[in-house]
Chains A and B, each alone.
Chain A
Amino acid sequence: MTTDEARWIARASEGDAAAFRHLVDAHATQLFRVCARITGDKALAEDAVQEALINAYRHLRDFDGRSAFTTWLHRIAVNAALEQLRRRSRHEAAMPEDEAGDAFVELAESDPGPDRHARSAEIRREIEGELARMSAIERTAFVLRHHEGQSLEDISATLSLSISSSKQAIFRAVRKLRAVLEPVE
């Protein structure tokens, strides 16, 4: 955490909206990325980021600096993303798998990376489909470990799981992804 960031946090916790805007600008993109990976849906990810930031603003006084501010904020965002998924599943009792898969495909296609054309489109779609079919906890634990580089300990704290359960969620996620690739290999 930089000195500037510490100052913004202190001022924002006193209700200074301009200081909070600095924090929003500094973290919004990263928060969007993790929320989008968890939800597989841009609109849900945006809602999750907004809810996470409102929550963070309300509880800034509780931030005691024991963890890094980014970790604290990401923890709130991950839970906001999971909450968005829970809300969606309450509204749509059962989302058809194809549709769920499509959400991930759409998300990925919105920003084709440089490697995209070098990869088999079929493998990519399979992986995206598998990520969409995983349980929210498996996907989230995997995203946090693989993409966010979070430790098992942090993942357990974020998801309120034991370390063993977090490990199992990651193992299941990797196993499912491997199963997608094995017929191709």
Chain B
Amino acid sequence: MDTISDDDLILYHYRDGLAPERLAEIETALAAMSEVRERYEAIVRTLSEVDALPAPTADADFAQRLWRQLEPRLRADDAIARRRTWRDYAHALHVWLNPPRLAWAAACVLALAVGIGFYAGRQSAPTPDALAQARADAAAMRVLDAYVAEHLRATEGVLVTASNSDSTELLDGNRELAASLVEANRMYATAATRAGNTRLADFLRQLEPVLISLANPSQSAPVQPTDGLRDYLRATDLLFQVRATEARLQRTGERRT
């Protein structure tokens, strides 16, 4: 019985954290032992003093004041949540359509557009095959332009980050992005060749070694990170060419629609 500690008595007071048998033991000890009873009474007195402290109360206009402050925040929160929903969809699509997958999607859409054009040309009797094929080609080129423009925008971002950033974390992410762009770049070059756009295909082939260097910075040629890249970009005007080609593809894409 004398093993009943003050901690046990605190738990007994709150009737929490003790097994029923232990509660019964303490009850018995309190009835039988004055020493345990005195310790328990001291705890109860302490807690009663705490109870005697005035409870903190809010100002009379607290709820009103609170609501006045809350309401605009809730409204702003709702607006952000709505915007975020659209941004989330866009982001999810962007994440899902990572560069290699994007390139595959572009290639598939291109092939589908050519196929539909060919089929339509065969089926629609009054329309000459050539016209249907031309429409399909235009649609396919529009798709390719849009995808390549997006690819070049990502490439531009990689080049700018690699030449301007000193953050290791950012550069690590940039290397991963560059690596993912290499494969896509190759596929777009092939698609451009097939579509007869040799100028675009040549330009994309020119980009490939740069992307490979950025994806594998340990390899020396042709670009060394940061300072080397800055010099290389300045010497070759590559960044300007990327931006110009991207803008041209957007313009031609818009004209085709």
Bound-state CA distance A107–B63 (Å) is 18
Interface 1/0 per residue, B53-65 and A, CB below 8 Å: 1111110001100
The answer to whether the Cβ of A145 comes within 8 Å of any Cβ in the partner chain is yes
Q: For A57, what are the chain B residues with a Cβ–Cβ distance below 8 Å?
A: 74, 77
Q: For A152, what are the chain B residues with a Cβ–Cβ distance below 8 Å?
A: 16-17
Q: For B50, what are the chain A residues with a Cβ–Cβ distance below 8 Å?
A: 127, 146, 177
B56 in contact with A33 (CB, 8 Å): yes
B53 in contact with A171 (CB, 8 Å): no
Q: For B77, what are the chain A residues with a Cβ–Cβ distance below 8 Å?
A: 54, 57-58
The answer to whether the Cβ of B45 comes within 8 Å of any Cβ in the partner chain is yes
Interface residue count for A (Cβ, 8 Å)?
A: 51
Q: For B11, what are the chain A residues with a Cβ–Cβ distance below 8 Å?
A: 167
Q: For A115, what are the chain B residues with a Cβ–Cβ distance below 8 Å?
A: 52
- A116-B54, A123-B49, A127-B50 as given contacts; A50 in contact with B17, CB under 8 Å: no
The answer to whether the Cβ of A163 comes within 8 Å of any Cβ in the partner chain is yes
Interface residues on B, range: 20 to 34
Min CB distance A30 to B, Å, is 10
B14 in contact with A145 (CB, 8 Å): yes
Residue of B nearest to A21 (CB): B67
Bound-state CA distance A42–B54 (Å) is 14
Q: For A28, what are the chain B residues with a Cβ–Cβ distance below 8 Å?
A: 58, 62-63, 66
The answer to whether the Cβ of B71 comes within 8 Å of any Cβ in the partner chain is yes
B66 in contact with A36 (CB, 8 Å): no
The answer to whether the Cβ of A100 comes within 8 Å of any Cβ in the partner chain is no
A174 in contact with B43 (CB, 8 Å): yes
The answer to whether the Cβ of B10 comes within 8 Å of any Cβ in the partner chain is yes
B62 in contact with A24 (CB, 8 Å): no
**Partner of A124 from B17, B43, B45, B52 at Cβ < 8 Å:** B52
A185 in contact with B66 (CB, 8 Å): no
> Which residues in window 212-232 of B have CB below 8 A to A?
none
The answer to whether the Cβ of B70 comes within 8 Å of any Cβ in the partner chain is yes
**Partner of A178 from B46, B53, B55 at Cβ < 8 Å:** B46
B56 in contact with A24 (CB, 8 Å): no
The answer to whether the Cβ of B69 comes within 8 Å of any Cβ in the partner chain is yes
Bound-state CA distance A110–B56 (Å) is 8
B66 in contact with A49 (CB, 8 Å): yes
> Which residues in window 158-172 of B have CB below 8 A to A?
none
> Which residues in window 105-133 of A have CB below 8 A to B?
107-113, 115-116, 118-119, 123-124, 127-128
**Partner of A185 from B42, B47, B69, B74 at Cβ < 8 Å:** B42
Q: For A167, what are the chain B residues with a Cβ–Cβ distance below 8 Å?
A: 7, 11, 17
The answer to whether the Cβ of A73 comes within 8 Å of any Cβ in the partner chain is no
Q: For A110, what are the chain B residues with a Cβ–Cβ distance below 8 Å?
A: 56-57
Q: For B42, what are the chain A residues with a Cβ–Cβ distance below 8 Å?
A: 178, 181-182, 185
- A17-B71, A50-B66 as given contacts; A178 in contact with B56, CB under 8 Å: no
Min CB distance A143 to B, Å, is 10
**Partner of A151 from B16, B54, B58 at Cβ < 8 Å:** B16
- A108-B54, A174-B10 as given contacts; A32 in contact with B74, CB under 8 Å: no
> Can you list 15 residue pairs at the A/B interface with Cβ under 8 Å?
A24-B67, A25-B63, A28-B66, A29-B57, A33-B55, A33-B57, A58-B77, A111-B54, A112-B54, A113-B52, A113-B54, A127-B50, A145-B16, A177-B49, A178-B42
Q: Footprint of A on B, CB under 8 Å?
A: 6-7, 10-11, 14, 16-17, 42-43, 45-47, 49-50, 52-58, 62-63, 66-67, 69-71, 73-75, 77-78
